[in-house]
Amino acid sequence: MKKVAIVSTGITKFDKTEKPLDSLMLSSVKHLFENTINLEQKDVDVVLTSTNANKNYFANIISELSGIKPKISHSVESLCNSGTNALISAYAYISSGLAETALVVGGEKTDNPGLVLNWDLSRGEFKHPIFWATMFTGAHMRKYGTTLEDLAYVSVKNHKNALDNPYAYFEKAFSMDDVMHSKNLTENIRLLDCSMPCDGSAAILLCSEENAMKYTDTPIWITGIGQKTISAGFTKNNSLSSMESTKIAVKDAYSMSDKTAKDVDVIELHDAFSVCEIIELEDMGFCLKGKGAELVRDLYETGDKKVNPRGGLIGTGHPLGATGIAQAVEICNQLRGEAKKRQVAGAQTGLVHNMSAGSTSSTVLVLES
Amino acid sequence: MNRFEEELKNNNFICSECPKCKHLVWPPSDFCNKCLGDVVWRPVSKKAILVEVSKKDEKQFCIGEFENSIRVFGILEGRTNIIPGQSITLKHCRYENTPIFEFQTD
């Protein structure tokens, strides 16, 4: 298999706008082209789009509007981890030799249909994501003594990190008191424990090792990939205090890259709700099981930006099809030393964790400079 | 409308079962998700075990597990001091564009 590099990125401000989806996605493609030396439309032989928007022939439409005539173009949809799944598809085309250069562009509008989990008979009338989140939260609290205050630290930390991210939806800090007293959605989920659906787009250019230096002096290598689907229905999660698909995906990604949690300098993980960050830190080996809340509190108190430096989904916003790509954009910025105020000093190895529908599927990428 | 939905409309919770694998197929399907063989339909026990519980606007809802296999979300009426592992009963079910389950604490 050929080595595959990320050679350039583009992103838009996460916001709520009147802009149509195609224009939003073209904005991040434009940003990517502006960021890339020597890149011409004719160089791109794969275009993959990531969105939940139910748009027919959408990758072809984006290709046409971008002036690209690719060999391969199609959409990838897997709810919230559509973006990283599209990156893996692009990786596969390049590593197999079917293509040399792939553009992956994700985008979403606030009102996209991926926000209500209609297909899952197990959820009955409880289709909104807060209902799976409250079950994870209750189970983790019961088993490990996690408190509402522990959960609030995730939100306060990630909103604080987002203040240094010019592309983040939120531009405001929230105190512990703000989070603790934000509107109760369930007995253990408050409004500020939730990521915010919004408009946004992000794009990444992947390239084979042979051509990478044509476009950048600082390629970022995809060295580990793990992807696991356990089901479509939420109630197939055997444990509600851990995420089975995440544990399997991260194990595979560590194995492929020959890394462990100890080697990872910076992480963007899928904090759709506060409890997710705590469980994912535990399940990916960054602390012992039951110690995730303690780790988050320590990160907050020391100002350590190692986890979700761009603000995660809670601080940055969650445009589903763009999220996984935006997470990877941040890790690339970190590994290139270009994350400005968010920079984790000396970061050389980064991890992206992106999951869907109450961790019924997860994707993990290990990236290295 | 498929058979599962039709029966649910009449307050009957049924599911497909593979006679070969002796396995309840959830979500219900015309084929077994282990051997892809044909299934038969049968009623699901009304007794369930509480997996997890929460509240929204003081209304209790939960995940209940039937026959060590099928887990569904539903409204939970009755005691509020119930904990996972305790038994609950399916009081009513119906179909209104989606399955709706109502449990009662034992």
The answer, yes or no, to whether residue A251 has pLDDT greater than 70, is: yes
Output the pLDDT for position B1: 59
For B63, nearest residue in chain A (alpha carbons): A235
Residue type present at position A250: V
Output the pLDDT for position A118: 84
pTM of full prediction above 0.80: yes
Nearest one of A82, A37, A119 to A200, comparing CA atoms? A82
The answer, yes or no, to whether residue A272 has pLDDT greater than 80, is: yes
Is there a contact between A131 and B53 if contact means CB atoms under 8 Å apart? no
Selecting from B4, B54, B83 the residue whose C-beta is nearest the C-beta of A135 gives B54
Output the pLDDT for position A116: 83
Separation between Cα atoms, residue A32 and residue A26, nearest integer Å: 10
Separation between Cα atoms, residue A167 and residue A35, nearest integer Å: 16
Number of helices (H), then strands (E), belonging to chain B: the values are 1, 8
Question: Do B63 and B70 form a contact (C-beta atoms < 8 A)?
Answer: no
Quick check: ipTM above 0.90? Answer: yes
Q: Pseudo-torsion of CA A291, B65, A362, A117, nearest 10°?
A: -120
Q: Which of A116, A125, A148 to mutate to test the interface with B (most CBs of B within 10 A)?
A: A125
Q: What is the DSSP string of B39-88?
A: -EEEEPPSEEEEEEEEEETTEEEEEEEETTTEEEEEEEES-SS--TTSEE
Nearest one of A29, A87, A99, A97 to A61, comparing CA atoms? A29
Output the pLDDT for position A102: 98
Q: What angle do CA B51, B65, B90 make, to 5 degrees?
A: 110
- Which pLDDT tens digit goes with each residue over A322-353? 999 999 999 999 999 999 999 999 999 999 99
The answer, yes or no, to whether residue A115 has pLDDT greater than 90, is: no
In the Cβ-directed half-sphere of A280, how many Cα atoms lie within 13 Å? 30
What average pLDDT does range B68-73 have in this prediction? 96
- First and final C-alpha spacing in chain A: 19
Q: Which tokens sit at A109?
A: 């509008």
- Which pLDDT tens digit goes with each residue over B24-56? 999 999 999 999 999 999 999 999 999 999 999
Nearest one of A40, A334, A82, A365 to A202, comparing CA atoms? A82
- Nearby residues of A166 by Cβ (< 8 Å), 6 or more positions away: A13
Output the pLDDT for position A114: 85
Output the pLDDT for position A117: 84
Is there a contact between B73 and A122 if contact means CB atoms under 8 Å apart? yes
Is there a contact between B56 and A186 if contact means CB atoms under 8 Å apart? yes
Chain A residue numbers with beta carbons less than 8 Å from the beta carbon of B63 are 135, 235, 240
Chain A residue numbers with beta carbons less than 8 Å from the beta carbon of B3 are none
- Which pLDDT tens digit goes with each residue over A190-241? 999 999 999 999 999 999 999 999 999 999 999 999 999 999 999 999 999 9
Q: How far is B70 from chain A (nearest CA, A)?
A: 8
Q: Peptide bond before A113: cis, by omega within 30 degrees of 0?
A: no
Output the pLDDT for position A23: 97
Q: What percent of chain A has pLDDT over 70?
A: 100
The DSSP letter of residue A9 is E
Separation between Cα atoms, residue A362 and residue A229, nearest integer Å: 7
Beta bridge partners of A85: none
Separation between Cα atoms, residue A103 and residue A72, nearest integer Å: 10
Residues of A labelled catalytic: 80, 318
- Which pLDDT tens digit goes with each residue over B54-68? 999 999 999 999 999
* Average pLDDT in chain A: 97
Whether A146 has its CB under 8 Å from any CB of chain B: the answer is: no
pLDDT bucket at A303, cuts 50 / 70 / 90: very high
